[in-house]
Structure 1
Amino acid sequence: MHDAGQKSIAIPLGIVIRRVPGVTRWARHVWKAVAVLPGAGKADWKELRRDEDAVEYHAATLPLELFRTDTEAYLHGLSAKVPAIYVVMRPSENEHPLEVTLATASPYEAQDYADTGEELVEKVPMPDGLIAWIRDYVELHHEDEVFIKRRRNKTRIDLKEDGIGDARIRQTSDVYRAPASKETVH
């Protein structure tokens, strides 16, 4: 069970990545995050399964952290048709093709990484036990935000005409017209 006083909790989460042959001559292989392993031990691209040309690796184990301030995002993610963990990866400079940098249950945080275009963000279905763990945390910490309607300022701002028109126009008949060039002004 979760402690109500904690600001965050974490669980180790193994990331499984599948390599399949590429379909074009420019990509020898295609890499995709396909599963997560809650409570997994440390791993560094350990081969899990091989099926002809497809190979699955336990690429890394990262902490999946939940924060009290992000329960709205977790609730949104849990209400999806298929609740998911978002795995953030980037091309690697070392012997492995990808560096797994983050695993998150927040679709909002995942969207922020996807917007940069520098990282690859994969959506991986959550196992049932992980769904229950996150749901328990949300139920313990989530507080609905009270909607406060903004009140309009009653000050009349439409009575002054400061800034209307162009100061280069001398006449007051049409203050919204564009100024004429110096040659045509009489």
Structure 2
Amino acid sequence: MRRTPGVTRWAKWAWKATGVLPGAAAADWRELRRDGDVTEFHAATRDVWLYVSDTEAYAHELGAACPSVYVVLRKPVDRTDVPFEVVQITMSPYEAQDYCDSAEEVVEKVAMPPALIGWVRDFVQAHHVEEPFVKRRRNKSRTDLKEDGIGDARISQTTDVYRAPRRSGQVSG
């Protein structure tokens, strides 16, 4: 995570996930380097899991111009000394999109390191099965022949089923 000075008076700092470190040791917001007001931290070490059911998403991500890893961040509930908690790291753009639907998480897109690209590519080649597209077919029942709920049942004629009934002695104009 990179911390830079905020650009507005309402935010003292701006935070951005800038990279992932494959094979890194455990860390909890360890400072890596400082250059003036800009500081980079190793926020957390998380395991990354690949699932056979998500190979389509991984293949989609590998086909992007710049394959990415998605870092899911959330404001911590029980800590005040850190700005974010690293909830998850995922290779699936579909899963990352699901996290974006909530206002509780922040999802950062980070360039996938070459070592991870090779690992994900090998996994996709070993487990991905292309599923053919099957167009959904409509059933043949005719729903346009029924007229349930049309008009008022108190009107006996079939010429104007949408007409409202009149009281006796009422003159139409």
TM range (shorter): 0.7 to 0.9
Aligned pair 1:157/2:143, yes or no? yes
User: Matches of 2:57 and 2:162 in 1, distance apart?
Assistant: 47
Q: Which runs of 4+ in 1 moved over 4 A?
A: 179-182
Instruction: Give the structure 1 partner of residue 8 of structure 2.
Output: 24
User: Matches of 2:12 and 2:59 in 1, distance apart?
Assistant: 39
Deviation at 1:150, TM superposition (A): 3.0
- Stretches of structure 1 that go unaligned for 5 or more consecutive residues are 1-16
Deviation at 1:78, TM superposition (A): 1.0
* Percent identical residues: 57
Instruction: Give the structure 1 partner of residue 22 of structure 2.
Output: 38
- Stretches of structure 2 that go unaligned for 5 or more consecutive residues are none
Instruction: Give the structure 2 partner of residue 105 of structure 1.
Output: 91
Q: TM-score, normalised by structure 2?
A: 0.87
User: Matches of 1:166 and 1:148 in 2, distance apart?
Assistant: 40
Distance 1:173 1:113, change over 3 A: same
Q: How many residues align?
A: 168
Does the 8 Å contact 1:88/1:102 carry over to 2?
yes
**What letter is aligned with 1:74?**
Y
Instruction: Give the structure 1 partner of residue 151 of structure 2.
Output: 166
Name the structure with the higher strand share: 1
Distance 1:142 1:168, change over 3 A: same
How big is the alpha-carbon RMSD for the aligned residues of Structure 1 and Structure 2?
2.4
User: Matches of 1:85 and 1:176 in 2, distance apart?
Assistant: 59
Does the 8 Å contact 1:169/1:175 carry over to 2?
no
User: Matches of 1:24 and 1:180 in 2, distance apart?
Assistant: 66
